[in-house]
Amino acid sequence: MVDKINNFWSWRTWEISWSLANTQNKNSNINILLIHGFGASKNHWRHNQIFLGEQTNCFAIDLLGFGESSQPLALLDYERPRINSTKYCFDLWGEQISDFCKEKIKSPVFLIGNSIGGIVALRAAEILQDDCSGIILIDCAQRTMDDKRLKKNDILMNFLRPIIKTSVRTRLISNTIFKRAANPKIIKEILKKAYPSGNNLDDQLIEILYKPSQRKYSAEAFRGFINLFDDYLATDLFEKINNNVHLIWGENDPWESLAEAKEWKEKFQNIKSLNTIKNAGHCPHDEYPDITNQLILNIVQDIK
């Protein structure tokens, strides 16, 4: 029987929520850490952690600003530091993950990230080096709004971009956007795009996303993230790590291009596999968990 514990870890001046599922009498030497995407939490691995915990020590964590973890104020580059403020960025989250692995797991770990959790996993792997066993990216964020992705011939976006960047800096606008999105009806409409098959799009999932959004400072991580116009791309980090990378992708992801993932597979030698899940969208681990779980187990057991 799989045991699951929930706990908090003190990191810097904040509290980080995490959980562990495993079968203690099996003494597995495989460690997995699940890293959620934007707006989600460790509970988004609801159909994965227990199953994976039957064969591994399966950890899940709430990134700073999300889920049940602390929610410091967002600090943008041009702002003066305030008490309990921080710059939300991939360096911050990558350091959070690498420190957690060093302090709590204390042995090599396989990092698995969905969406922006994939970028976090790559940045953490760069820091961990040999203490990272490998990486699985599930519909990794391609960050099409980053300055480095802007095409010179995109005249409209070149014109609109400075206006967008100036607007979302202000808390009034970012909070307004957040409040409009943070309600069950809007969340459900977004999920219909993310889960094109409709599999596992249920009330529990809506609650997983809605409940953390009602915490007092939940809009701060949103403000910090939507102002990241010049941060790491996955392609920046592939070249900096020696770890093997495996891609799992929803065939019908509306936001992260499968075609671009295929280009990554051809271009980067450390990307060892690309598995496509038919009919799945942006979150195949939750939409088609049986298929995703087996792919994950095949990968981690093959290289243990």
The residue extents of the domains of the chain are: 3-302
Q: How far apart are CA 165 and CA 167, in angstroms?
A: 6
* Predicted confidence band of residue 174 (pLDDT cuts 50, 70, 90): confident
pLDDT exceeds 60 at position 304: no
Classify domain 3-302 by CATH architecture. Answer: 3-Layer(aba) Sandwich (3.40)
The mean pLDDT value for 133-139 works out to 98
Rounded mean pLDDT, 32-56: 97
Q: What is the pLDDT of residue 156?
A: 62
Residue 257's CB: how many other CB atoms inside 10 A?
14
Task: Give the global pTM.
Answer: 0.95
Conformation bin of residue 35: beta by default, left when phi > 0, alpha when psi is -120 to 50: beta
| C-alpha 292 chain-centroid distance | 16
The structure tokens listed for 80 are 């003066």
Are 101 and 75 spatial neighbours (Cβ–Cβ below 8 Å)?
no
The CA radius of gyration of the chain, in Å to the nearest whole number, is: 18
Residue partners of 172: CB distance under 8 A and separation at least 6: none
Q: Note the pLDDT tens digit of each residue in 46-93.
A: 999 999 999 999 999 999 999 999 999 999 988 999 999 999 999 999
Q: Give the pLDDT score at 170.
A: 83
pLDDT > 70: what percent of the chain?
Answer: 94
Condensed to tens digits (0 to 9), the pLDDT of residues 12-29 reads 999 999 999 998 777 789
Residues 195, 275: Cα–Cα separation, whole Å: 18
Which pLDDT does position 21 carry in this prediction? 96
Residue 175: pLDDT band (50, 70, 90) is confident
